Structure 1
Amino acid sequence: MSEPFGSLFTTGQFAALCGTTKDTLFHYDRIGLLKPRSVGSNGYRRYTSAQLFDFDLIRVLQQAGSTLEEIKWYRQHYDSAHFLLLLEEKQAGIRTRLEQLARMEQMLAHVAATTRRALAETYDVPRAEPQQAEQLLVVGLKKGEGEHTDGVAARVSEHLALCEKYRLTDRFPLGSVILKEDVLAGSSLESYFFSRVPPDFSGGPLLEKPAGLYATIVHKGPLEAFNEPYHALLAYVGRQGYAVCGNAYVFDLITYLASGSEQEYVVQISIQIEKRGCPRSARG
């Protein structure tokens, strides 16, 4: 290959050779990372073909996660042993990033499945259905916190931090628990925020949602309108001859993650129930 300008390249030619831009080369020159082989009296920079390998080293280390400052220091203190150490550090960083991406992929798949299910639901029609037992990672709300935005935000933040600590991929949908005594009193006061966890999860604090029969309703609309479907579900329980025998569990199926409007929010409310007069041994 014949090289122009006596084996020297202009900035534009060298940028094309490297698959980069002139602005990138100008920046590398300014910070002392990759300087041209020569600069003419007219200010024109010239690079050699051998500097392609210097540029490629910078590109590889950048793609491995090194900052330009780290790369500059390395090039000024080059030796093979240090290069090996640098590569091993970057390998460890890449493995960590891959784990994070795998968890993110699982979370997005879970949110997508939940959203797909919510869009296919029939809204505001109560039903009775059996549900399986689930383990819930919970954060408790102090008395009155659920009635104020600041209190809710603080506990949600605490809960999300707890999920991050335990690297939960299925932290969404978030949910809340209304204790049995509050359900019986007709109150929608929330006592816990929760996320589902696998059966073998050993972190805490945990609350078990028992298997059994549940009265369930799925509602679409703003969170402020929650009480309407909640009380409609309680009325359904009474009409159908059921009795409340456990907590209520509120699942966010579509919230801020999938909708820009509270009018599109979807929640599922499930209250553990039993037939009135059932002997204790026959109850779910």
Structure 2
Amino acid sequence: MFNKNVKYFTTGEFAKICKVNKQTLIYYDQIGLLSPIMKDNKDYRYYSIAQYEFFSVIELLKAVGMSLKEIQKYMAEKSPENFLDLMHQQKEIVTKKRRELEMIEGIIDVKIDLTQEALHLDFDSITIEHLPEATLYLSRNIEDSTEEQFVKAVSDFIDELDRSQLDTGYPIGGITRREQVLAGNYDNYSYLYIEQPHPQEGHPYFEAIEGDFIVGYHVGTSATLGESYKRLFKVMSEKGFELGQYVYEEYIYDAVIKNREEEYVTKIMMEIKKGC
């Protein structure tokens, strides 16, 4: 029998309060997760405002990734102690997710900044720039690797970035030793790298040498990469410089931004020193 001093809500009214459709409440009733406080002789369901908090906890647990089966299991063993344990567990999950979201936000911010910067670049220009020291996370040595070995090295490197949360949003680049570049082996990279503005302890890092670089851009596929290097070497010679220890390459525009490989843009940074 209804208590005349208590306000009861129909399924539709309670669904509106909970901001869900009626079918959600009916399903929760069917699986025994949240049943109406009472049903009348016509089988109409009625809920009380006190059940709103119950519904809110269900939605909270769903929001942090618990399945309905897991929530049902808890509901079958309800107690203040179990509830506290559950809340502490879920807080740890939320804290972890917040850190992950903060990392994702940082990656997005970097990609926005890099893309906005790229929009104002002259890809025909060749400049001499003083680049500050940068901390890079490196792959294992991949120089002279076969195609199969190179593919595996790339895969392993990306897996490590994901596993150790080292992805910073900066492009993955390649480091080529002076000897390989002078021999015309422009894509015989020694290492893959990604910049790490905030290095984590426990990982091997390489500090890119601070100094002067000739910076240019290659538009197109790797098949024509040599033509861009020839342009850079010509300017280097005219300015009285020699090639330094390393050359760094990284994509400015890749498959994320351009559909055709012929439109990809690679930034080439050649370490230089004054000629004898």
Normalising by structure 2, we get a TM-score of 0.84
Instruction: Report how far residue 98 of structure 1 moved.
Output: 0.9
Can you list the C-alpha shifts for 1:11-68, whole angstroms capped at 9, x where unaligned? 32332232210221233233321234556787x5412224334323312332344321
Deviation digits for residues 111-132 of structure 1 (CA, Å, limit 9, x no counterpart): 1111111111110221222222
Instruction: Indicate if the aligned counterparts of 1:173 and 1:195 stay in contact, CA closer than 8 A.
Output: yes
Match of 2:46?
A: 47
Q: Sequence identity of aligned pairs in percent?
A: 27
Say if 2:184 and 2:226, in contact at 8 Å, map to a contact too. Answer: no
Aligned to 2:109: 109
Residue 143 (structure 1) aligns with: 144
Are the structure 2 counterparts of residues 268 and 135 from structure 1 closer, same or farther at C-alpha, using a change threshold of 3 Å?
Answer: same
1:184 to 176, 182, 185: 182
Question: Could you tell me how far 1:161 is from its partner in structure 2?
Answer: 2.2
Change (3 A) 1:172 1:39: same
Q: Which residue of 1 aligns with 2:60?
A: 60
Aligned partner of residue 23 in structure 1, secondary structure? helix
CA contact (8 A) 1:106 1:169 kept: no
Q: Which residue is equivalent to 2:232? A: 233
- AA at the equivalent of 2:77: H
Shift of 1:72: 1.1
Greater displacement, 170-179 / 58-67: 58-67
- Structure 1: how far apart are the matches of 2:136 and 2:82? 47
Three-state SS of the structure 2 residue aligned to 1:167 is coil
Q: Which amino acid aligns with 1:216?
A: V
Match of 2:205 in 1: 206
Structure 1 residues 225, 22: CA separation in 2 closer, same or farther (over 3 Å shift)? Answer: farther
1:267 is matched with which residue?
A: 266
Q: Which range is displaced more, 178-187 or 52-61?
A: 52-61
Gap runs ≥5 in structure 2: none
Cα pair 1:28 1:35 within 8 Å, conserved: yes
Root mean square deviation, CA, Å = 2.9
Question: What is the count of residue pairs matched by the alignment?
Answer: 271
Structure 1 residues 16 and 166: alpha-carbon distance in aligned structure 2, compared to 1, 3 A threshold = closer
Q: Which residue in 2 is equivalent to 1:162?
A: 160
Compared with structure 1, are the counterparts of its residues 27 and 264 closer, same or farther at alpha carbon in structure 2 (3 Å cutoff)?
Answer: farther
3-state SS of 1:252 partner: strand
- In structure 2, how many angstroms separate the alpha carbons of the residues matched to 1:109 and 1:153? 29
CA change 1:52–1:275 in 2 (3 A) is closer
Contact 1:65 1:90 in 2 (8 A): no
Deviations 1:133-164 (A, max 9, x none): 2222111325244xx4x554432221122223
Please tell me whether the aligned partners of residues 223 and 265 of structure 1 are also in contact (alpha carbons under 8 angstroms): no
Matched residue of 2:144: which SS?
A: coil
CA distance in 1, matches of 2:177, 2:119: 28
Matched letter for residue 109 of structure 1 = D
Work out the CA distance in 2 between the residues paired with 1:190 and 1:245.
15
User: Residues 63 and 166 (structure 1 numbering): CA distance in 2 closer, same or farther, change over 3 Å?
Assistant: closer
**TM-score, normalised with respect to structure 1:** 0.82
2:46 is equivalent to residue 16 of structure 1: no
Instruction: Give the corresponding residue for 1:280.
Output: none
Aligned CA distance change for structure 1 residues 176 and 28 (closer, same or farther; 3 Å): same
Q: Secondary structure at the match of 1:34?
A: coil
Aligned to 1:77: 77
Code of the aligned partner of 1:196: E
SS of the residue corresponding to residue 120 of structure 1 reads coil
Equivalent residue of 2:119, what SS? helix
Mapped to 2, the partners of 1:108 and 1:260 lie a distance apart of 21
